[in-house]
């Protein structure tokens, strides 16, 4: 006689059968894919922690934690001297980590912080654009900022360097109470800072103006002798380069 089971019981038995086949299926699908980015450096998939992204389905958050939109090929120098070249990456300014997709053909991401890297470079996605070099802010005047990376906008021959510290500040929602600003979203706002690193290794915060730069670099006499209209990062770079040349 054929034994019949109720519909709920049949469903449970089928689910159990599926579970029994999962280990074999996992063995088939978990075989290592071509890892063209990390194989050359002998880096194993379990060496770094997994990266948990922001959940952008949350309607209460406006803005992005990243330096720029999308993924950019990167060149990374690890703290142990190994290098990773060409893997898609993006810098999470808010958490101060570089998010990397190290395995070719896979979307899995890992994060690298200041303890794991000596520097990283965002390579141009379009030919002709400049590379962007980032180094740990070891000379930061505030201890809290030493865990961040700064972009080297200019490295001079006299030991002066113009650094940009990307920052994202969380502005919390404020819509409750009689004097609330009716801000109904948390927002990540850009608050980048600029620093001049001097030959003695110290760094002082500056603004993009001739007065501020000249005050931070007293040994560059030419910086304050010729009137310059400094409003942009490139203006500041050109002023420092001319001052180092004595112009």
For the chain, the structural domain boundaries read 31-136
pLDDT at 172: 74
**Mean pLDDT throughout 220-226?**
84
Q: Has residue 43 got a pLDDT over 80?
A: no
pTM of the entire structure? 0.73
State the pLDDT confidence band at 3, using cuts at 50, 70 and 90: very low
pLDDT at 18: 40
Half-sphere exposure of residue 109: CA atoms within 13 angstroms, side-chain side:
16
Helix/strand/coil for 21: helix
Q: 156 and 192 in contact (C-beta within 8 Å)?
A: no
**CA 211 to the chain's CA centroid:** 31
Q: 97 and 67 in contact (C-beta within 8 Å)?
A: no
How far is Cα 8 from Cα 67, in angstroms, rounded to an integer?
Answer: 52
Q: Has residue 201 got a pLDDT over 70?
A: yes
What pairing do the DSSP bridges indicate for beta strands 186-190 and 61-62?
parallel
Q: 189 and 63 in contact (C-beta within 8 Å)?
A: yes
How far is Cα 16 from Cα 81, in angstroms, rounded to an integer?
Answer: 49
φ, ψ (nearest 5 deg) of residue 84: -125, 125
Closest CA to 118 of 134, 96, 130, 141: 134
């Amino acid at each position: 006689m054929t034994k019949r089971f109720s519909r709920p019981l049949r469903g449970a038995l089928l689910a159990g059968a599926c579970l029994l086949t999962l280990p074999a299926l996992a063995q088939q699908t978990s075989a290592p894919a071509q890892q063209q980015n990390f194989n050359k450096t002998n880096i194993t998939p379990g060496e770094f922690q997994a990266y948990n992204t922001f959940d952008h389905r949350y309607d209460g958050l406006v803005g992005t934690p990243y330096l720029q939109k999308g993924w950019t090929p990167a060149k990374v120098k690890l703290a142990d001297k190994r290098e990773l070249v060409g893997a898609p990456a993006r810098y999470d300014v808010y958490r101060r980590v570089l998010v990397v997709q190290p395995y070719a053909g896979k979307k899995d991401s890992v994060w690298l912080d200041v303890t794991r890297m000596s520097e990283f470079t965002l390579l141009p996605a379009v030919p002709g654009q400049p590379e962007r070099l980032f180094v740990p802010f070891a000379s930061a005047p505030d201890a809290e900022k030493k865990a961040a990376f700064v972009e080297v906008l200019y490295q001079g021959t006299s030991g002066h360097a113009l650094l940009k510290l990307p920052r994202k500040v969380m502005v919390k929602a404020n819509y409750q109470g009689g004097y609330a600003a009716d801000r109904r979203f948390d927002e990540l706002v850009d608050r980048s800072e600029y620093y001049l690193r001097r030959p003695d290794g110290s760094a002082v915060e500056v603004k993009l103006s001739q007065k501020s730069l000249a005050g931070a670099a007293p040994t560059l006499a030419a910086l304050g002798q010729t009137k310059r209209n400094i409003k942009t990062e490139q203006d500041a770079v050109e002023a420092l380069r001319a001052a180092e040349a004595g112009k």
